[in-house]
Structure 1
Amino acid sequence: MAKRLYLVIVLWLMADLYFYQALRTLSGSGTFLWVYWLVDGLLMGGLVAAIFLPRGSRLQQTLFSWLMGGILLAFIPRLFSTPLLLLEDITRLFRGFPPRSVWISELVLALAAVIFFIVLFGITRGRHFYKVRRETISFPDLPEAFNGFTITQITDVHSGSFTNAAGVQKGLDLVNAQHSDVILFTGDLVNNRATEMDRWIPAFAGLKAPLGKFSVLGNHDYGDYVQWESPEAKQANLDRLKEVHTEIGFRLLLDEAITLKKGGASIVLLGVENWGKGGFHQYGDLKKASSGVPENAFKILLSHDPSHWEGVTLGHDQHIHLTLSGHTHGMQFGIELFGFKWSPIKYVYKQWAGLYRQAGRFLYVNRGFGFLGLKGRIGIWPEITVITLKRDA
């Protein structure tokens, strides 16, 4: 973690210094250049101040959200502009370091402006720019009655971040529009407190699926990231959140299995509590969840954190055909164009977005329905996943 932080600081300073050179080449105004550094100072000062606010408080979360947006607006355009200036410096080295080219500096500013508006769109509109992603996965042992069975997966709602009811409803309407057999939710209904869901209960209760709606808990659902007045208060919050799952019509799976029947055949849904690497709590117990499940049953596992797949699921004594996860959010920042996919989160999670296969077992990592920290999404849009199960001929 410390090494990644140092890398970000180095990149920030490098991008700042290079971009400042382009501005200085084009601007003779000392006041304008002074304002440039003032903005940086305010962002950094605000970040330091936010760190010392009460952990998990509404004020800290709000300040972090605004600061993250401001930092991205300031940093990302400069970062993407730096290679052009660096390339110019390499050529200047062989030309005896003449003054910077005006047209290169103008090109840098134009590129920065384009990226600035892309980031601005992500911050202002990206949070509800929902994308429906579809996958068809084939299995040789899928019961024939479930050939063509459809699953809609959502994850990481983070209802405490929502403010726009129309935007949230747009996403929920898209979920219902898929007309899937089941709706599966893979954790993080709230940021910290069950009360965050109070105003959203009627909207989420409106989700419909003929064979039911099922869910598991995510790392944020346990209230581990705020200070509670007592252990009893923390437990009461979790108990209330479990009630909320019932009130919105989801069957919460807590290290347990449930059987879905169709046309005389069945498949098994397993759901585990949160289990994650990298300092996250490992509450989930897959052995408990799969206890009593027939070895030859077709199994779908709901597990919030994708690190559980390689950490536990692949080595489990029973074959888990498909695991559905979330948690990463795709870091809410990255690039996905023409099949190319990149986000800084890939350096933390090996499986961070989309479909993965290993040893005949599949994992799908949903990019998340909501948002946390950054009040928006840049390039990694909120996701509604539709998976169709097929039986190999």
Structure 2
Amino acid sequence: MAKRIPLIFLLWFFTDFYFLHALQTLFGEAPWLSLYWAIDFALMGGLIAAMFIQRGSKLQQRLIAIVMGLMLLAFIPRLVALPILLLEDITRIFRGFPARSTWVSQLAFGISAIVFSVVLFGITRGKHFYRLRKETITFPDLPEAFDGFTITQITDVHAGSFTDATGVQKGLDLVNAQHSDVVLFTGDLVNNRASEMERWIPAFSGLKAPMGKFSILGNHDYGDYTQWESAEAKRANLNRLKQVHTEIGFRLLLDEAVNLKKGDDSISLIGVENWGKGGFHQYGDLNKATANVPADAFKVLMSHDPSHWEGVTLDHQKHIHLTLSGHTHGMQFGIDFLGIKWSPIQYVYKQWAGLYQKAGKYLYVNRGFGFLGLKGRIGMWPEVAVVTLRRG
């Protein structure tokens, strides 16, 4: 993070300079424009201050969330307007540097105002603007009794970020409204500590599925991103979190598999501990998880980090038909509308949101139920996914 601060400063002040010039074209040297730079320096100061607060503390999380929200609210609208102003400046070079056109500044200001409204919605209402996403996947070897089998997947709850019980319940009601055969949770129940989940146990206990609720751990569940008074305290926290899974009615799968039966047919549901690339811990062991799974069984894998799919799953000796993941959150920011799907996270993860297929094996990456860092979602709304399995 510290290494990126100079780049953030440069990009921030570059967009500032251009947008301020447009505002001066429209409004002249209005007295209120003096606040422009003051706000910028205050936000940058908050970002730097967050780096020196105890890592993983509530104060640090709260400050980061506030600063991130305000920075996006100030920065993204200006960034979107930047190409318009740059394009005009290119033409001004060949026109002898005349004054900036008022109508161009009006256009840039109008577009930034629209984007400002979208960002404002995202950081105020977007965090509980749950969207239902449905996928139907056909497999030639799906057991006949499981034709039409439905899975509701949620992931990345991050209970420590929640404050609005009504908003959370809205998402849980959407889960129950699907009446799926199973509910699967694919990791990151908390931000850091099991205690974050205590007040939400009754609400999540209300999730229902006739064939069971199953879960796995995500990278945040191990308590690796906060300071502990001792190794024993960290272990106790993880043990408590495992108990919480039981208390909300979920069977936690730790590198193991269970059989789901319908009549004489069955499928194997496999859950691995977190395994990720790019510095994330690789606790999960797919060999151990599938040790007692027949090679010809139909297999559904829960694996928190989608990088596990290409890193391990695709080339594994046992054919994994469907993998369900989360982790990316779609970066909680992007465009996901009218067939357009883009987020900066795609430059980090090849598989980051939605359905992917390779060699007859499928991966679904859920955009996440909760939020972390940024107290909201901008364009990349929280998700409840329903996957229907078909034989064909």
TM-score past 0.5 threshold: yes
Matches of 1:14 and 1:245, distance apart in 2: 48
* Post-superposition CA distance 1:198-244 (Å, at most 9, x none): 00000000000000000000000000000000000000000000000
Letter in 1 for 2:21: Q
Residue 372 of structure 1 corresponds to which residue in structure 2?
A: 372
Residue 190 of structure 2 corresponds to which residue in structure 1?
A: 190
Letter in 1 for 2:220: H
The aligned runs of 1:345-384 (5 Å cut-off) are: 345-384=345-384
Any idea what SS the aligned residue of 1:315 has?
A: coil
Letter in 2 for 1:363: L
Residue 304 of structure 1 corresponds to which residue in structure 2?
A: 304
Instruction: State the shift of 1:258 in Å.
Output: 0.4
Letter in 2 for 1:56: G
Letter in 2 for 1:157: V
Instruction: State the shift of 1:379 in Å.
Output: 0.3
Contact map agreement 1:268 1:300 (CA 8 A) in 2: yes
Instruction: State the shift of 1:29 in Å.
Output: 3.1
Residue 56 of structure 2 corresponds to which residue in structure 1?
A: 56
* Post-superposition CA distance 1:301-327 (Å, at most 9, x none): 000000000000011100000000000
Any idea what SS the aligned residue of 1:362 has?
A: strand
Instruction: State the shift of 1:9 in Å.
Output: 4.2
The aligned runs of 1:93-104 (5 Å cut-off) are: 93-104=93-104
Letter in 1 for 2:131: K
Contact map agreement 1:368 1:383 (CA 8 A) in 2: yes
Residue 105 of structure 2 corresponds to which residue in structure 1?
A: 105
Instruction: State the shift of 1:24 in Å.
Output: 1.5
Q: Once structures 1 and 2 are overlaid, which stretch shifts more, 8-17 or 134-143?
A: 8-17
Residue 119 of structure 1 corresponds to which residue in structure 2?
A: 119
Residue 175 of structure 1 corresponds to which residue in structure 2?
A: 175
Q: Once structures 1 and 2 are overlaid, which stretch shifts more, 109-118 or 128-137?
A: 109-118
Structure 1 pair 317–146 and aligned structure 2 pair: CA distance change class (3 A): same
Matches of 1:214 and 1:179, distance apart in 2: 15
Any idea what SS the aligned residue of 1:259 has?
A: strand
Residue 219 of structure 2 corresponds to which residue in structure 1?
A: 219
TM-score by structure 2 length? 0.98
Matches of 1:258 and 1:136, distance apart in 2: 23
Any idea what SS the aligned residue of 1:312 has?
A: helix
Residue 151 of structure 2 corresponds to which residue in structure 1?
A: 151
Instruction: State the shift of 1:373 in Å.
Output: 0.4
Matches of 1:9 and 1:219, distance apart in 2: 30
Residue 290 of structure 1 corresponds to which residue in structure 2?
A: 290
Residue 160 of structure 1 corresponds to which residue in structure 2?
A: 160
Residue 261 of structure 1 corresponds to which residue in structure 2?
A: 261
Structure 1 pair 93–21 and aligned structure 2 pair: CA distance change class (3 A): same
Any idea what SS the aligned residue of 2:314 has?
A: helix
Instruction: State the shift of 1:6 in Å.
Output: 6.0
Matches of 1:112 and 1:72, distance apart in 2: 12
Letter in 2 for 1:275: W
Instruction: State the shift of 1:102 in Å.
Output: 1.2
* Post-superposition CA distance 1:361-387 (Å, at most 9, x none): 000000000000000000000000000
- How many aligned residue pairs are there? 392
Contact map agreement 1:11 1:79 (CA 8 A) in 2: no
Structure 1 stretches lacking a partner, 5+ long: none
Matches of 1:2 and 1:42, distance apart in 2: 18
* Post-superposition CA distance 1:225-273 (Å, at most 9, x none): 0000000000000000000000000000000000000021000000000
Instruction: State the shift of 1:27 in Å.
Output: 2.4
Letter in 1 for 2:278: G
Matches of 1:331 and 1:9, distance apart in 2: 21
Letter in 2 for 1:227: Q
Instruction: State the shift of 1:28 in Å.
Output: 2.7
Residue 275 of structure 1 corresponds to which residue in structure 2?
A: 275
Instruction: State the shift of 1:5 in Å.
Output: 6.2
Matches of 2:168 and 2:317, distance apart in 1: 40
Mapped pair 1:247 → 2:243? no
Residue 36 of structure 1 corresponds to which residue in structure 2?
A: 36
Matches of 1:222 and 1:314, distance apart in 2: 26
Structure 1 pair 164–139 and aligned structure 2 pair: CA distance change class (3 A): same
TM-score by structure 1 length? 0.98
Instruction: State the shift of 1:338 in Å.
Output: 1.2
Letter in 2 for 1:42: A
- RMSD (CA atoms): 1.2
Mapped pair 1:78 → 2:73? no
Instruction: State the shift of 1:107 in Å.
Output: 1.5
Contact map agreement 1:275 1:284 (CA 8 A) in 2: yes
Matches of 2:147 and 2:8, distance apart in 1: 48
Letter in 1 for 2:297: A
Matches of 2:349 and 2:186, distance apart in 1: 17
Instruction: State the shift of 1:111 in Å.
Output: 1.1
Instruction: State the shift of 1:167 in Å.
Output: 0.3
Any idea what SS the aligned residue of 1:89 has?
A: helix
Residue 339 of structure 2 corresponds to which residue in structure 1?
A: 339
Matches of 1:10 and 1:302, distance apart in 2: 41
The aligned runs of 1:17-36 (5 Å cut-off) are: 17-29=17-29, 31-36=31-36
Residue 201 of structure 1 corresponds to which residue in structure 2?
A: 201
Instruction: State the shift of 1:32 in Å.
Output: 2.2
